[in-house]
Chains A and B, each alone.
Chain A
């Protein structure tokens, strides 16, 4: 604890000392009741990542015919089996794959795919049907289901300035921060702390709700700072924003912070024009970041209890467009990475480019099947209560 805060804690300020309860102490004592020791890290690739130039069907003639300029030649790939290969820039990810730490699920999507970024992202984040509009996210409803008033705010943590819909439940919401410093800048001033700790009676439920949110935020900020400040990662992460975000998550995991779900994103995948350079840069950033992250967790013996899920709101059109790019598509591949996978490798068949829906890949795995699997087999929760429907699980988690 910094001395200024200690000084503050001694001061009575707006509240009298008898009413004053240092919330972070409670956080230490109580622990996080919902935490089962497993961590889920969700990585959102925003803008619609072109899955076909990420996992390349390098034996498929249609792929080369429909993408005369964009298709990756045999010198631009890292072969994984006799059908599929990674884009050559993803050396780290190939290493992860070859070490049996990765499962690729092809053709993930949903019926009647929506090709608007916002709508499709909402569908993925809320786990709604394509024709229903939900105001809560799937992780938020996981919190609703698990917490019942007993969770700390950092049970689900997004590494970003603001909180995604995915993280908002009816009753409980996750928390967001760019990093510890940014969070402390927001909470660690006398005024905010005094307000958060003032214990006066609030005549209105809504005002009480605001105070409760503030108290929980400040309490989690204190807890995270205390718990993580002694840990320094020895791993070299790429110096970009995505690398920094992953480094923050690894720091928290390796310091033993009891967060169940982390959420972070990498954006810029909306490659309508001049796709090659843009996407390669992004995929390199993505792969290098994940590689450092996985190594970091592995060295600290935290990889077996961590599962990374990587998704994008849709894939892209199989046929290239006239601007050296691709337009919005439908089904896409999704990655699971970690030490707890059952039978890693390719989970299912390659995309069928002979049977397209308006030029886009058809889905054969509903994304909510992936969610149901992660919720039940990984987080030990009740997927039907969270997804409002029962979905067949996929056999991808080692029991």
Chain B
């Protein structure tokens, strides 16, 4: 593989690549490099929470309002740390492919809550199955405490069904709109009655709340339970198609390609929903490396932030700095906007978010203030979270230039800007601009030339795509 292809693969399968690594992989075979990605992600290590975050003590009835308020605050602050831990894994972990897929599933099965334990539990479930089997993942998520609460299945009872869970499973998680009827949802909701969780966050099947009667779903009639519904959904190849299309848009191009999607869906379905074969097919194919796909995606805020971290080994003394950037850019990890997940592509870009994105490298690498404030929180309970951060606070980070310094030293001054673009951009740098920048910085010493040259490239719109 050449450097362009490696960079493309590493941006899509992960969050970018450092110059030294790019050099190390240059010229190696596609097969070997792709195999390396999966190898480095073969192990699953969950995010760990201490015992003090168990849920049993949080019984609302036993707690005063003041205590509950205090507890919520404690959890919100912990959530900031977990957010940071995940972002750190994405940025620096060798298993970035697993983290990227966890991120994909987090957007596919989005949920949020005030308590940290169920959030981490779900996040670990997504991580565990991230590269495994979608059938197992779907069954696990359907019994996941956070999802059961988030989609109101706690309130889904015999004689008083709540359809929220059944509806979203079909509409957003598997089949997609138009591939089921309203009656299918009604009947499926009955099958999920009695699926609940408790304060210990165990899945509980409450027989007394379950409707064990006959249901007709997808034209079949029987005394179906929740597991049956999930298996029937998976039997329909439309589910494979729906997920394959999302994977294609996430990894390859926002503009779908019906033929390629069908091809991937068939691989997915024929492998009984194993995820890895589909990803391998994408990463090993020739078409994945077509010029039309390289640099064709607008980075999501998380990809942008993790990418900056990775390139410069950024370390933040105060983790809130990162959260603030996520907030201003509109994507806070573990806090998706609703059950439909985040919008993508051009939806990230407007006048102020683009200017903020272009100035973000200056903020993180030079500590240069950006005159944009986050919107004020309108939930009274959320206020304290960003309260300490005013626009006057500078984000002072630790920045590592060593890797870049060593790498770019091998090129002459005339080549250097072009080579920087080869590392930091996923699109080509016009020769005129390379020359313009080289001239502009000609009087600087090597160190300053590297820094200002890099920041110039990172501050241009091209850096926003991958």
Contacts and interface: CB of A to CB of B under 8 A. Distances in A.
B355 A14 contact: no
A161 B436 contact: no
Nearest to B293: A204
Contacts of B380: 47, 268, 270-272
B456 interface: yes
Interface stretch (B7-15, B36-44, B236-244, B341-349): B341-349
A191 B459 contact: yes
A163 B354 contact: no
A78 interface: no
B339 interface: yes
Nearest to B297: A206
Interface in A154-171: 160-164, 167-168
B378 A47 contact: yes
Interface string B309-341: 000000000000000000010100000011110
A36 interface: no
A267 B376 CA distance: 7
A102 B410 CA distance: 71
Contacts of A177: 351-352
A267 B456 contact: no
Contact of A133 (B65, B339, B355, B428): B339
A185 interface: yes
A46 B427 contact: no
Interface string B295-308: 11110000000000
Contacts of A174: 350
Contact of B328 (A161, A198, A270): A161
Interface in B360-411: 370-381
Interface residues of A, number: 60
Interface in A198-221: 198, 200-207, 209-211, 213-214, 216-217, 220
Contacts of A271: 380
Contact of A198 (B347, B379, B433, B464): B433
Given A122-B337, A182-B371, A191-B459, A163 B379 contact: no
Interface in B54-71: 65
Nearest to A182: B371
B375 A160 contact: yes
- Name the prevailing secondary structure of the A interface residues: mixed
B7 to A, nearest CB: 15
Contacts of A217: 351, 354-355
Interface stretch (A56-64, A113-121, A289-297, A353-361): A113-121
Nearest to A322: B65
Interface in B159-179: none
A269 B378 contact: yes
A209 B349 contact: yes
B337 A118 contact: yes
A216 B373 contact: no
Contacts of B359: 186
A74 B352 CA distance: 47
Given A173-B350, A213-B349, A270-B380, A192 B355 contact: yes
Nearest to A46: B378
A210 B298 contact: yes
Given A162-B330, A162-B352, A211-B461, 16 more contacts: A14-B436, A48-B378, A133-B340, A153-B351, A175-B351, A182-B372, A186-B356, A191-B456, A192-B355, A195-B459, A195-B460, A203-B291, A206-B298, A210-B354, A210-B461, A268-B376
Interface of A: 13-14, 46-48, 117-119, 121-122, 133, 135, 153, 160-164, 167-168, 173-178, 182, 185-187, 191-192, 195, 198, 200-207, 209-211, 213-214, 216-217, 220, 265, 267-272, 313, 322-323
29 contacts: A13-B436, A47-B380, A118-B337, A121-B378, A122-B338, A133-B340, A135-B343, A161-B328, A162-B372, A175-B350, A176-B351, A178-B371, A178-B373, A186-B355, A186-B371, A186-B372, A192-B358, A200-B430, A203-B427, A204-B296, A206-B295, A206-B296, A206-B297, A207-B462, A214-B354, A214-B358, A265-B375, A267-B376, A268-B378
